[in-house]
Amino acid sequence: MLALLAVQFLFGMLTNPFVDIPKVHPGAQASDYFAGVLRGEVWALASSRPFLVAHVATGVFLELLAVALLLVAALSRRRLWIWSAALGWLGVTGAGFNGASFINYGHDFSSMIMAASFLLAAIAYDLALHLGR
């Protein structure tokens, strides 16, 4: 997870200066947030903007892995792993939704929350790795 989060961070840093998100696209300014998230994510994956596609695709993969890791942690019944996986999942999910919000609404604070959520996930997984030995 930490290595994939690092790759995701790099894709995000490449997306930021080199990809302009158009103000009008499927999902933009959606009145139904969750339907807009889905439309915006699908648009981003099909947009043919390579850095954006890589960033969104990696984010979707991270979300699936975070859920899987949370399930494995729950089955292990080890509190440190459960808490770390839960906080990691919360960070990954928060980053994903705020990334979608940035795509759809263009608010800079969504990008800042995405970065803070990434940091939460990275710290949670790092703590599990170092304290769970």
The pLDDT value recorded for residue 25 is 87
For the chain, residues with pLDDT lower than 50 are: none
The pLDDT value recorded for residue 20 is 86
The pLDDT value recorded for residue 47 is 83
Task: Map out the domains of the chain as residue ranges.
Answer: 2-12+27-131
Contact 121, 2 (CB under 8 A): no
Residue 119's alpha-carbon distances to 4, 6, 16, 93, in angstroms, are 13, 10, 17, 12
Contact 44, 53 (CB under 8 A): yes
The model's pTM: 0.91
The pLDDT value recorded for residue 131 is 87
The pLDDT value recorded for residue 119 is 97
| The residue to which tokens 């890589």 are assigned | 54
